């Protein structure tokens, strides 16, 4: 997946991975708008530049297997990448696409074998 670096218009490779316990120390309410520690009991994923460690966006997902759906509980883009002065575009969109793909992969298979 790719995100766009707005100052030069270049495409940057990005990846989405599960948030690790050590990451929660770096995830502050000031930069990501919410207390993400509350989401530890759910599946929380981070978007970073490929090979990088700076978290650009976060999404918390809840699987409702019995209802065949996934809920996006919370989604945030880092403060510097919001609004008209943002540096990078496509963070939220990639996190939403990640959730949709996960839903199709997990729930679509469940429906086929039900």
For residue 30, the SS3 value is helix
- In the predicted structure, residue 56 carries a pLDDT above the cut 70: yes
Closest-CA residue to 96 (of 77, 81, 80, 75): 75
Please state the domain count of the chain.
1
pLDDT confidence of residue 104 = 83
pLDDT confidence of residue 112 = 47
For residue 43, give the CATH number of its domain: 3.40.630.30
- In the predicted structure, residue 111 carries a pLDDT above the cut 70: no
Mean pLDDT of 44-68: 92
* Residue 108 to residue 114: CA distance in whole angstroms: 10
Global pTM value: 0.89
Closest-CA residue to 63 (of 46, 81, 78, 41): 41
Mean pLDDT of 33-39: 93
Q: Could you list the residue range(s) of the whole structural domain that residue 83 is in?
A: 2-112
What confidence tens digit (pLDDT) does each residue in 69-82 have?
889 999 999 999 99
């Amino acid at each position: 997946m790719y995100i766009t670096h707005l100052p030069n218009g270049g495409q940057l490779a990005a990846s989405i991975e599960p948030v690790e316990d050590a990451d929660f120390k770096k995830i502050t309410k000031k930069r990501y708008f919410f207390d993400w520690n509350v989401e530890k009991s759910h599946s929380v994923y981070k978007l970073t530049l490929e090979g990088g460690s700076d978290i650009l966006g976060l999404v918390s997902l809840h699987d409702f297997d019995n209802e065949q759906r996934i809920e996006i509980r919370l989604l945030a883009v880092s403060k510097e990448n919001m609004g008209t002065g943002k540096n990078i575009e496509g963070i939220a969109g990639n996190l939403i696409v990640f959730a949709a793909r996960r839903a199709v992969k997990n729930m679509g298979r469940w429906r086929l074998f039900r």
